[in-house]
Amino acid sequence: MKKNDNCLYVIFGASGDLNKRKLVPSLYALFVQGLLPEKFAVLGVSRTPFTDEAHRAAMKADIHKYKEVEDASQIDAFLQKIYYVAVQVNDEAAYPAFKQQLEDLRTKEEIGGNTVFYLSTPPTSYGIIPKHLASVGLNKQKDGWKRLIIEKPFGYDLKSALKLKKILLKDWNEDQLYRIDHYLGKETVQNLLVTRFSNGIFEPLWNRNYIHRVEITAAESLGVEQRGGYYETAGALRDMVQNHLLQVAAIAAMEPPSSLEPIAIRNEVLKVFQSLRPIQQDDVHTQAIRGQYVTSTIKGEKIPGYREEEGVSPNSGTETYAALKFYIDNWRWGGVPFYIRTGKRLPTRVTEVVVHFKPTPHFLFSTGEGANACNQLVIRIQPDEGILMKFGMKTPGAGFDVQRVNMDFHYADLTNQRIPSAYERLLYDTMKGDATLFARTEEVIEAWKFLSPVLDAWTNDKSVPLHGYPAGSWGPETADELIDGEGMTWRYPCKNLSDDGIYCEL
Catalytic residues: 244
56, 217, 252, 309, 319 from 186: Cα distances, Å: 28, 15, 14, 29, 26
Residue 386 or 392 having the CB closest to ligand BG6 = 386
Smallest gap from Cβ 17 to ligand BG6, in A, equals 11
Regarding 319 and contact with ligand BG6 (CB under 6 A), the answer is no
55 vs 244, beta carbon nearer ligand BG6: 244
> What is the per-residue DSSP string for 347-396?
SS-EEEEEEEEPPPSS-----STTTTPPPEEEEEEESS-EEEEEEEEEPS
Among 62, 68, 215, 220, which residue interacts with ligand BG6 (rule: CB under 6 A)?
Answer: 220
DSSP structure class, residue 254: P
Site for ligand BG6 in 66-125 (CB under 6 A): none
CB of 241 to ligand BG6, least distance (A): 11
Q: Which CB atom, from 351 or from 473, has the smaller least distance to ligand BG6?
A: 351
Any idea how long the chain is?
A: 506
3-class DSSP state of 410:
strand
Binding footprint of ligand BG6, residue count (CB under 6 A) = 4
Cβ nearer to ligand BG6, comparing 220 with 309: 220
Q: Which is nearer to ligand BG6, 228 or 370 (CB)?
A: 228
Q: Compute the least distance from the CB of residue 222 to ligand BG6, in Å.
A: 7
Nearer to ligand BG6, 7 or 219 (CB): 219
Least distance from C-beta 318 to ligand BG6, angstroms? Answer: 12
Cβ proximity to ligand BG6, 345 vs 390, nearer residue = 345
The DSSP bridge pattern shows strands 386-394 and 376-382 to be antiparallel
Helices (H), 216-324: 228-234, 236, 246-253, 262-275, 284-287
- Provide, rounded to whole angstroms, the least separation between the CB of residue 39 and ligand BG6: 32
What residues pair up with 83 in beta bridges, in sequence order?
43
> Could you say which residues in the range 164-193 bind ligand BG6, by CB under 6 A?
182
Sheet with 438-439, edge to edge strand ranges? 82-86, 40-46, 7-12, 115-119, 146-151, 177-180, 438-439
215 versus 220: smaller Cβ distance to ligand BG6: 220
For helices 262-275 and 441-460, what crossing angle results, to 10°? 30
Q: Torsions phi, psi of 54, nearest 5?
A: -65, -40
Cα diameter, the chain: 84
Among 215, 239, 401, 446, binds ligand BG6 (CB under 6 A): 239
> Rounded to whole angstroms, how far apart are CA atoms 391 and 35?
43
Neighbour tally for 293: CB within 10 Å: 27
Instruction: Give CA–CA dist 157/340, Å, rounded.
Output: 19
CA-to-CA dists, residue 442 to 17, 179, 258, 295, 487, angstroms: 29, 12, 20, 40, 38
Shortest Å distance, C-beta 225 to ligand BG6: 8
Residue 79 class from Cβ within 10 Å (0-12 exposed, 13-18 middle, 19+ buried)?
buried
Which spans in 112-214 are helix H?
Answer: 129-135, 158-171, 187-197
Q: How far apart are CA 427 and CA 416, in angstroms?
A: 23
Nearest distance in Å: CB 220, ligand BG6: 5
Rank residues 182 and 213 by Cβ distance to ligand BG6 and give the closer one: 182
Nearer to ligand BG6, 7 or 119 (CB): 119
d(CA 191, CA 382): 12
Minimum distance between the CB of residue 182 and ligand BG6, rounded to whole angstroms? Answer: 6
Three-state secondary structure readout of 328-347: ECCCCCCCCCEEEEEECCCC
With the CA atoms of 433, 434, 439 and 442 taken in that order, what torsion angle do they form, in degrees rounded to the nearest 10? 80
Quickly count: other Cβ atoms within 10 Å of residue 185's Cβ: 22
**DSSP characters for 420-472?**
PPHHHHHHHHHHHT--TTEE-HHHHHHHHHHHHHHHHHHHH-TTS-EEEEETT
The contact pattern for ligand BG6, residues 342-381, with x = CB under 6 A and - = no contact, is ---------x------------------------------
List the x/- string, 424-453, binding to ligand BG6 by CB under 6 A. Answer: ------------------------------
CB of 186 to ligand BG6, least distance (A): 7
In the complex, least distance from residue 151 CB atom to ligand BG6, rounded to whole angstroms? 9
- The rounded Cα 73 to chain-centroid distance in angstroms is 31
Query: Which residues are near ligand BG6 by CB under 6 A?
Result: 182, 220, 239, 351
